[in-house]
Amino acid sequence: MSRAYQDVQVGEALPELSIPLTRTMIVATALASRDYQDVHHDPSLAAERGSKDVFMNILTSNGVVDRYVTQWAGPAAVVKKIKIRLGAPNYPGDTMVLTGSVTAKDDDGRRVEISVKGVNAIGPHVTGTVVVQLPEGSEA
């Protein structure tokens, strides 16, 4: 079931979501998004380029943020904007914990802005905002 616009409040917290960062996930999602940069699938070449291991690509980070917000908002939500910034790399064997909160509502268009942060053991991996359009109560 989708969240209705009028039922969402500024300051509302989204539930935490833990994402286990497996080597398979990091490599498979890089290849699925056609990001063939060796730092996302070849540990020895990633090390040659100064990284301790392969790491998640930005397209996967963007997709995980989208999934986090739309899982909370429901299937009738329409993502209007995602703006993210990357920080600490997501390495295999770690876990990224996503948190978020509603930071603004715009009655014109039933848009809700959500601030999102994904943190791993070495710090914030991704921070940003997502704007979704939510249905009215009768559509939810």
User: How much is the average pLDDT of 15-33?
Assistant: 96
**H or E segment at 122?**
none
* pTM reported for the whole predicted model: 0.93
Ramachandran bin of 128, using left for φ above 0, alpha for ψ from -120 to 50, beta for the remaining angles? left
pLDDT, one tens digit per residue, over 73-112 is 999 999 999 999 999 999 999 999 999 999 999 999 999 9
Query: Residue 89's pLDDT is what?
Result: 98
Contact yes or no for 117/124 (Cβ under 8 A): yes
Residues 6+ apart with CB under 8 A from 108: none
Contact yes or no for 135/5 (Cβ under 8 A): yes
pLDDT, one tens digit per residue, over 47-60 is 999 999 999 999 99
Query: Residue 140's pLDDT is what?
Result: 53
Determine what percent of the chain is predicted with pLDDT higher than 90.
91
Contact yes or no for 127/93 (Cβ under 8 A): no
Residues 6+ apart with CB under 8 A from 17: 68, 71, 97, 98
Location of structure tokens 């990357």: 86
